[in-house]
A and B are shown apart, each in its own frame.
Chain A
Amino acid sequence: MISTHLPVLQVVIPLLAAPACILIRQATVTWLLALVVSWVSFLISLSLLYQAFYSGSLSYELGGWAAPWGIEYKVDMVNAFVLVIVSGISSIVLISARASLLHELGMRRIHLVYTAWLLCLTGLLGITTTGDVFNVFVFLEISSLSSYLLISLGPDRRALTAAFQYLIMGTIGATFILIGIGLLYMMTGTLNMSDLAMRIPDVSDTTTIHAAFAFLVLGIALKAAVFPLHYWLPNAYTYAPSAVTAFLAATATKVSIYLLLRFFFDIFSEHFSMRTMRLGEILLVLGLVATFSMSLVAIFQQNVKRMLAYSSVAQVGYMVLGIGLASATGLTAAILHLFNHALMKGALFLSLGCIFFRLNSHDIKDLAGIGRQMPWTMTAFILGGLSLIGVPLTVGFISKWYLILASLERDWWWLAVLIVASSLLSVIYIWRVVEVAYFKTAAHGNISEAPLGLLLPTWILVLANIYFGVNASATVSYASAAAGQLLGAP
């Protein structure tokens, strides 16, 4: 009986826990509540993935109102996969959040931070689950507002200006999405995603639909940090608290990429987006430029966290590249990379959190000699870095492999060579950190290893990196099923 309500419970349980955290003022109790709720959401998302894979899409009508008039929650393979990513990362990062946030924020009212975290989780899960475009906007704003709040709490005072910049750009992006939705509603009279997919082909020659397409592309690309619209990301990720960066870096942009997939393959058909509006070529070029330019910028950073932030923009470039290739293999690569990048960046940012916990600095000079003083942390960083580069036996290799397969399918040898070349760039910036950590003399004495509470989630993600790199059959089958659903009949 509960299983019929699972799609809505996925969103409602964190939503119920958030005001409970305001009422419970105790720091540890709210952390436990957030942790338990996050794990419950993770279990629900696994159950939804299982159901979507073996039994087909689930649909849930809010308020009992039938589909095009009421709000419908629709869970299919694409959704369910992203739900697992978001709730899984939140659950794992929350394990480390207690010690890490206490160290970095040390505020009296830390229960409010968990409230914001749960609201962010609600928003991200809501964007993913819903089948109504205006509901997407509402949950997008919920998650965005709570992430602005979480980012502004960073220990450095530049977190405030970073959060403000992100607020301005993020609100403009969300308002562009709202304009696109409004124009779509004007032409079709419906807000339900499946209904829109049926009605848009009749009106797709009008300038209004073309304008709606353009606004939606801009808005979603801004939230996903696709190359020229990525400006808010480096500052926001660098100055936010470590646990928050690990959570947001592994989830927020992924959900926006999911929105890209949902809007441009499901609602506007693949034919319209790729052939008529030429979105494929645009994404291909932007993705390629992103991977090269952002990796190059990352090489020259002094702040290790900022380096990883630029690397995140480059990885989003890979995902966008896969979407631009628009074949079954290309989409499989993009969806796989959603999962893999979440694991990689989660592990890397969590290990940076461990380093910051002991060193209170992200500057690469201060990392000298850490390799011997914090062996477990640095090993985690190296393994995460190898995954980022795309070494075989790690999860990063699987996505790069599928991207190269997709480009070879089109006989574009030059693209495959470029993908390999940009991966080599990431070797350079990972090697910079490894060199300083292992081959320089220690800058500070008396640095002990990070506590177990911080190391445990880091190593869970690192081991997941390796496990899903060796045994990728499950993730590949889920991703290709999702890609098939997007390209074929929904």
Chain B
Amino acid sequence: MEHHIVLRVVAKILIPIILLFALYVQFHGDYGPGGGFQAGVIFGSGFILYALIFGLQATKSVLPPSVVHSMTGLGVLLYTGVGVAGMLKGGNFLEYGVLSSNPVAGQHLGIMLIELGVGITVSFVMVSLFYSFAGYRQQELGHSETATNTQAHEQETVDNPL
């Protein structure tokens, strides 16, 4: 059980840093390597690391599957919504220049929102993929097994409050 303690402690320290790094990569795509897809994957991997260490049930209580599925849809809607907003303001589809009074600011805003939409979709798709692959056995075996697993996990966390 000892090696689990090291993993747990390090994960609890690292996961917030991973999520923060993902946000950094997301919003610094203009100035360095980065952007929506890369940031989305890093963000998703933070949650997947949590699921690997603390178990699928704990992760599902933090981030319920229904939320994950809805967020993937919302990301795509954000992307297409920015494109349509450009059309409503008089430009063509995905024309960012018209989104703000100053065309350069409009370009900046447009790209930021588009990449945010991509990042949201990608991160929650990664988490959703992990849920369906990792959760497949549990779905097959039925709910009784998962109940015993959750009890065992709760026992562990009580014994080692770290």
CB-defined contacts of A20 to chain B, threshold 8 Å: 73, 77
Give residues of chain B (86-110) contacting chain A, Cβ–Cβ below 8 Å. 86-87, 91-98
CB-defined contacts of B93 to chain A, threshold 8 Å: 5, 8, 12, 60, 62-63
Q: Does B8 contact A (CB under 8 A)?
A: no
Could you tell me if A8 and B92 are in contact, using CB atoms closer than 8 angstroms?
Answer: yes
Q: Does A19 contact B (CB under 8 A)?
A: yes
CB distance from A163 to the nearest CB of B (A): 16
Could you tell me if A62 and B77 are in contact, using CB atoms closer than 8 angstroms?
Answer: no
Q: Does B80 contact A (CB under 8 A)?
A: yes
**Contact residue range for chain B?**
20 to 34
**Contact residue range for chain A?**
10 to 19
| A3-46 interface bits toward B, Cβ cutoff 8 Å, 1 = contact, 0 = none | 00100100010011011111100000000000000000000000
| B58-77 interface bits toward A, Cβ cutoff 8 Å, 1 = contact, 0 = none | 00000000000110111111
Q: Does A61 contact B (CB under 8 A)?
A: yes
CB-defined contacts of A23 to chain B, threshold 8 Å: 70, 73-74, 77
CB-defined contacts of A21 to chain B, threshold 8 Å: 73
Known: A22-B69, A22-B70. A63 touches B80 (CB 8 A): no
Q: Does B83 contact A (CB under 8 A)?
A: yes
Q: Does A228 contact B (CB under 8 A)?
A: no
Bound Cα distance from A63 to B83, whole angstroms? 8
CB distance from A34 to the nearest CB of B (A): 15
- B76, closest chain A residue (CB): A19
- A2, closest chain B residue (CB): B87
- B83, closest chain A residue (CB): A12
Which of B77, B80, B92 is close to A64, meaning CB atoms less than 8 Å apart?
A: B92
CB-defined contacts of A62 to chain B, threshold 8 Å: 92-94
Could you tell me if B96 and A19 are in contact, using CB atoms closer than 8 angstroms?
Answer: no
CB-defined contacts of A61 to chain B, threshold 8 Å: 92
Could you tell me if B95 and A19 are in contact, using CB atoms closer than 8 angstroms?
Answer: no
CB-defined contacts of A8 to chain B, threshold 8 Å: 87, 92-93
- B78, closest chain A residue (CB): A19
Could you tell me if B87 and A19 are in contact, using CB atoms closer than 8 angstroms?
Answer: no
Which of A12, A19, A63 is close to B73, meaning CB atoms less than 8 Å apart?
A: A19
Could you tell me if B76 and A5 are in contact, using CB atoms closer than 8 angstroms?
Answer: no
| A59-80 interface bits toward B, Cβ cutoff 8 Å, 1 = contact, 0 = none | 0111110000000000000000
Could you tell me if A63 and B70 are in contact, using CB atoms closer than 8 angstroms?
Answer: no
**Which B residues form the contact surface with A (CB < 8 A)?**
69-70, 72-77, 80, 83-84, 86-87, 91-98
